[in-house]
Amino acid sequence: MSNSTRVVVVGGGYAGTLAANRLRQRPDLEITLVNPRPVFVERIRLHQMVADTGTATADYGTLLGDGVRLVVDAVERIDSVARRLELTSGAALDYDYLIYAVGSTGAVPAQASVPGAAEFAHAICDLESAQRLRYALADLPLGAPVTVVGGGLTGIETASELAEQGRPVTLVCGGALGASLSKRGRRSVAKQLRRLEVTIAETVAVSEVRWDSVVLSDGAVLPSSATVWTAGFAVPDLAARSGLRTDELGRLLTDETLTAVDDDRIVAAGDCAAPSGRPLRMSCQAAGPLGAQAAESVLARIAGRTPAALNQAFVGQCISIGRSGGTLQFARTDDTPVNVALGGRTTAAIKEGICRGTLWAIRREAAKPGSYFWIKGGSGSRPSQTADEQVAIK
């Protein structure tokens, strides 16, 4: 029987995969990563996969360091008393420490709130939803009208990617376009969207989705051969159904060391974490550092040390506008935007570099555990994020 300390990471996204690699700083750990898919999903590229301008998956064999065991399964319940995970397959997995990194997803509204949305709207929040949308678009003629619902960054990137193909796209914002951006950032995005002939509807929302159209809040009916829903934010309910304390959206409540308020053997990372009830923005910019800090908290507890408090700063937001454009919005370290933004082809290259860099950083951590670096100094005054603001940024 092994005397190794067993650490299980639930969720193989940006935060979970980096956390698993960083744990390898201690050679005496038994590290297991549990993920429902056998491939890593680059969520920041799903809009590219939908438009067939890029791929959005990577092989875990190229991302995980030696000794990290991948279990392709889903977790049905966390038994925190027995320190055991009940898996969908019927198997069980025991742990000494658990890193909870199940991520987030989009939220298509229920039939009662927006009739027809659950039935006729396509999501783009996960691999399977994006694949279904890709197949649906492939069956449509290029001139068929497409409606994208949600004026956040996911909606902007999806609308621009499809419009660049020559599709007629209407972006229904339900409020301000790019609400998380500064005035200059919004102007930059709007200018580039209009260049791609995207119709922007900021002052109206969608009140009904039909199989061939959408009804707007002002009563207008827009033809829509495919409706893409990008508004809304949700978190898997694993923590809640396991009896752990969560915020109103289901994110695991933790202290400033990312340790669950219910159990010091459970540490959270990524979109599903709510440190002190003030979650960071949904983004790979937050996920990587949170994964690294979650791993450091576990390593500290194993060593008998007090874990360090969360320390993380933001630098801005980078949005792709098709393959040839983009907007770089600068921000204060607490993630509030400043009225400075860049746009154009150079920004497109920066965004592509960021996308490539996220996987490079995970692979680098696999090769040299403990090497991952993140910008610090902005955790003291991070703003709270609403559900709409969370989904606005990837």
Render pLDDT for 40-99 as a digit per residue (tens, 0 to 9): 999 999 999 999 999 999 999 999 999 999 999 999 999 999 999 999 999 999 999 999
201: helix, coil or strand? strand
Residue 232 binned pLDDT confidence (cut-offs 50, 70, 90): confident
Neighbour-count burial of 162, counting CB atoms closer than 10 A to its CB (0-12 exposed, 13-18 middle, 19+ buried): buried
Of the chain, the percentage scoring pLDDT greater than 70 comes to 94
- Residue 225: both structure tokens together: 């051969």
Q: Is the pLDDT of residue 22 over 50?
A: yes
Report the distance separating Cα 276 and Cα 379, nearest Å: 11
Q: Give the pLDDT confidence score for residue 1 in this predicted structure.
A: 41
Res 111: pLDDT: 59
The answer to whether residue 152 scores a pLDDT higher than 50 is yes
Cβ proximity of 267 and 291 under 8 Å: no
Distances (CA, A) of 174 to 42, 62, 116, 182, 189: 27, 41, 17, 18, 16
CA nearest 31: which of 4, 3, 66, 7?
A: 7
pTM for this prediction? 0.94
Element (H, E) at 32: strand 29-35
Structural domains in the chain plus CATH codes: 5-36+73-104+235-310 (3.50.50.60), 109-230+313-393 (3.50.50.60)
Maximum CA extent, the chain = 68
> 384 falls in which pLDDT band (50, 70, 90)?
very low
Q: Find all residues with CB under 8 Å of 47, minimum gap 6, and list them.
A: 124, 130, 154, 157, 158, 161, 320
**Phi then psi for 27, rounded to 5 degrees?**
-75, -10
Whether pLDDT at 108 is above 80:
no
Q: What is the pLDDT of residues 342-366, one digit of tens each?
A: 999 999 999 999 999 999 999 999 9
- pLDDT band at 112; cut points 50, 70, 90: low
